[in-house]
Amino acid sequence: MRAQTPVVEGDFMGNLGVPNIAGHEAGRKTYTLFKYNDVMAVLRDADTYTSGFIAAGLGAFMDGLILTGMDGEQHKKMRTLLHPVFMPKVVNTWRGSKMEPIVREEYMKPLAPEGKANLMDFALHFPVRLIYSLIGFPDDEPESIQQYASWALDILAGPQVKPEDAAEAKARALSASESLYKAVRERVAQVRAKGELGGDLISRLIEAEYEGKLLDDHEIATFVRSLLPAAGETTTRTFGTAMTLLLERPELLARVREDRNLVSSLIDEAVRYEPVATFKVRQAARDVEIRGVSIPKGSMVQCIVSSANRDEEVFERADEFDIDRKSKPSFGFGFGPHVCIGQFIAKIELSVAINGVLDYMPGIRFDPDYPAPVIRGAQLRGPDSLHVVWDK
Ligand code: HEM
């Protein structure tokens, strides 16, 4: 497609069977883009290529402060207000105070004597556990941690392709989303009432201010609630993908084990080579033309991130997984005004998890009793299972 038809009319992902969960009506004109420069130009220009339709689609699950579906001034103001809370200066303080102790004490130490595991079990749980702690919920209440994890999973399972599963899943997702909202709101009220702000997300969101604007309890609660689904499955799958790519390459594994500075290049290259979210959709706010193709106002514009990230005009040997390649932006965390606000959190979580595995699982390799993991999926990619063994 990149070589011959880089811009085509048609719902490319829909034709691959990917459901239309973004809220746009089926049948609306759709155009699909495959080249790096085109995808970059669209994601960069949020005035011409808007996201408001996403809020309509997600609205059923979560009304309120949903950044991903905001446009224009409203999005700019909110991003500016939230930005400082998600910057490395803040996020780095959580590495040693929360992320490393949780991953090591609660997951790695108990697992180490086993000598074997399906690492996707760990991958499913640690991102929700970490975000729960960063939000500022107490770490000494195991039942409520379990409860949050199960709410997060119910919300993620909300949109279903099969009509027979859809109603029940939607009802469960809605109820989980409401319960989560209530729990977060109570916590916000508690923190405000105590007047003792800590270093956690809720405290920092209470303090966040831009042009005299502060967030109210409803805004904080809806925003924080939206983080669980945004931070969960994406991190789970990226961990699975990065570990699979690493374990497939024993020489690289040995290098990374010896030189942990390479972990961040491993993560960046995994996110380029096998992005979890294969595409991003925008809506044209006016008539536009891309590479000679006219795209009328109101059309959906589908950006194929997995293709753009492998564009041979931009990346040499684009189909090779090479953690030593010169760093260039790719779109696994999005790009432009809507770029993932949680990317520094995600990268540190992934680094802590990968370092934990390398430290506690010496000689880690694929379990020969199971088929090797396969990174698959048209919409959200990653391995389904990741069976490994290590030297006890
Ligand atoms: C490896 C893990 C992650 C991946 C691959 C990922 C990917 C993405 C992508 C591709 C977008 C852009 C959406 C768009 O352009 O419409 C995005 C946005 C966002 N992400 Fe992430 N994300 C990850 C982890 C996280 C985490 C840990 C958090 C929160 C702590 C988070 C919170 C958000 C939010 C709030 C947005 C919306 C930003 C906006 O629209 O302004 N994400 N993410």
Q: What domains are there in the chain, each with its CATH number?
A: 7-389 (1.10.630.10)
Which ligand 1 atom is at minimum distance from the Cα of 335? 15
Task: State residue 160's pLDDT score.
Answer: 66
Please tell me the predicted confidence (pLDDT) of residue 249. Answer: 98
The span from the CA of 280 to the CA of 301, in Å, is: 8
pLDDT in single tens digits along all 392 residues of the chain: 999 999 999 999 988 888 765 545 666 899 999 999 999 999 999 999 999 988 876 655 566 678 999 999 999 998 998 988 999 999 999 999 999 999 999 999 999 999 999 999 999 999 999 999 999 988 888 788 888 888 887 877 776 666 777 788 888 888 888 888 999 999 999 999 988 788 899 999 999 888 888 899 998 998 888 888 888 889 999 999 999 999 999 999 999 999 999 999 999 999 999 999 999 999 999 999 999 999 999 999 999 999 999 999 999 999 999 999 999 999 999 999 999 999 999 999 999 999 999 999 999 999 999 999 999 999 899 999 999 999 98
What's the burial of 289, exposed, middle or buried (CB within 10 Å: 0-12/13-18/19+)?
exposed
Query: What pLDDT is stored for residue 277 in this prediction?
Result: 94
Q: Is the CB of 238 under 6 A from ligand 1?
A: yes
Q: Please answer whether residues 185 and 223 qualify as being in contact, where contact means their C-beta atoms are separated by less than 8 angstroms.
A: no
Best CA proximity match to 33, nearest among 364, 345, 362, 306? 306
Q: Is 277 in the pocket of ligand 1 (CB under 6 A)?
A: yes
Q: Which of 256, 277, 241, 297 is closest to 50 using CA atoms?
A: 297
Q: Is the CB of 342 under 6 A from ligand 1?
A: yes
* Residue located nearest, by CA, to atom 19 of ligand 1: 340
Pair 281, 302: CB distance under 8 Å = yes
CA 82 from chain centre, in angstroms, equals 17
What local confidence, expressed as pLDDT, does residue 22 receive? 52
Contact 208, 81 (CB under 8 A): yes
pLDDT at 170: 81
Question: Does 46 sit in the ligand 1 pocket, CB within 6 Å?
Answer: no
Please indicate whether residue 65, judged by its CB atom, sits closer than 6 Å to ligand 1: no
Which residues does residue 382 pair with via DSSP β-bridges, in sequence order? 376
Cβ-proximal residues to 27 (8 Å cutoff; 6+ apart), any chain: none
| pLDDT recorded at residue 269 | 98
Q: Is residue 79 within 6 Å of ligand 1 at its C-beta?
A: yes
Residue type for position 131: I
From the CA of 282, give the closest atom in ligand 1: 16
Neighbours of 213 (CB within 10 A): 13
Residue reference for tokens 């950006």: 303
CB 137 within 8 A of CB 148: yes
Please tell me the distance between residue 236's alpha carbon and the centre of ligand 1 in angstroms: 13
Question: How far, in Å, is the centroid of ligand 1 from the Cα of 342?
Answer: 6
- Give the nearest ligand 1 atom to 43 CA: 15
